[in-house]
Amino acid sequence: MGAVGAGLAVLGAGLGIGLIGKGATESIARQPEAAGKIQTAMIIAAALIEGAALFGVVVGLLAGSGN
């Protein structure tokens, strides 16, 4: 069961980062002069999502190994 939780955490992170990339690409297309600020914000948000996903994976695997 822990592997399912870890998989869901990774799936959620993948979707979140995909949505961030989509939004950043659309924003840069609308305002190319703001590309640097948008890219920086995108990288920070993606890093935060990855950290939360890693935490979810670790918790899921630890919960599953407690049997």
Global pTM reads 0.81
Going from N- to C-terminal start, the domains of the chain cover 2-64
Q: Which ranges of the chain would DSSP assign to H, the alpha helix?
A: 2-30, 35-64
Neighbours of 47 (CB within 10 A): 11
Amino acid at 60: G
8-67 pLDDT, tens digit per residue, is 889 999 999 999 999 999 999 999 999 999 999 999 999 999 999 999 889 888 887 765
Tokens, residue 7: 């998989």
User: Which class in CATH covers the domain with range 2-64?
Assistant: mainly alpha
